[in-house]
Amino acid sequence: MKTTNFKKMKRRIMLRVYYIYGLRLLLAPATLHVAVLAAAVYGIGYFVHVAAVLQNLSRIPLGEVAPWLVRAVLHTQGITLLVLGVAILAALSLPIQLPQYKRSLRKEVQAV
């Protein structure tokens, strides 16, 4: 009888430990950063027909690529610009975020 209660209590405690550990992983800054980047890349794929853009880009002479890109960005919708900006910002700031995340992991390991 007592062993059954002990096992139930141990199981409940361990479930809580796993739950808290999962939340810590999900709410880590690097995880949220990667999630924002993934959502932005998905948003770009949703709002922009990427295959058509690449096909049009391949038809342009090399010297005219930059003006074509500027013209394309200036004539796009606001939501597409917002999603593109978020994706660029997340991609550029991810290399800055990862070393900070590694340092915080090392501190946690040393504390234990």
Domain assignment of residue 20, yes or no: no
pLDDT digits (tens, 9 = 90+) for 58-100: 899 988 989 998 998 899 999 999 999 999 999 998 888 777 7
**Per the structure block, which two tokens stand in for 16?**
């809580």
The confidence score (pLDDT) of residue 109 equals: 61
The single-letter DSSP state of residue 64 is: G
Place 110 in a pLDDT band, splitting at 50, 70 and 90. Answer: low
The confidence score (pLDDT) of residue 86 equals: 93
Cβ-contact 22, 93 below 8 angstroms: no
Domain assignment of residue 12, yes or no: no
* Structural domain boundaries enclosing 80: 28-111
Domain assignment of residue 3, yes or no: no
Alpha carbon 58 to its chain's center: 29
Domain assignment of residue 7, yes or no: no
Domain assignment of residue 75, yes or no: yes
pLDDT digits (tens, 9 = 90+) for 99-108: 777 777 677 6
Domain assignment of residue 53, yes or no: yes
Q: Is pLDDT of 1 > 60?
A: no
Q: Which amino acid is at 12?
A: R
Q: How many domains does the chain have?
A: 1
pLDDT digits (tens, 9 = 90+) for 15-59: 998 998 888 877 878 888 889 999 999 999 999 888 898 898 889
Q: Which of 64, 84, 63, 62 is nearest to 73 (CA)?
A: 84
The confidence score (pLDDT) of residue 41 equals: 93
DSSP states along 71-106: HHHHTS-HHHHHHHHHHHHHHHHHHHHHHHHHHHHH
Domain assignment of residue 8, yes or no: no
SS3 76: coil
The confidence score (pLDDT) of residue 30 equals: 81
Domain assignment of residue 36, yes or no: yes
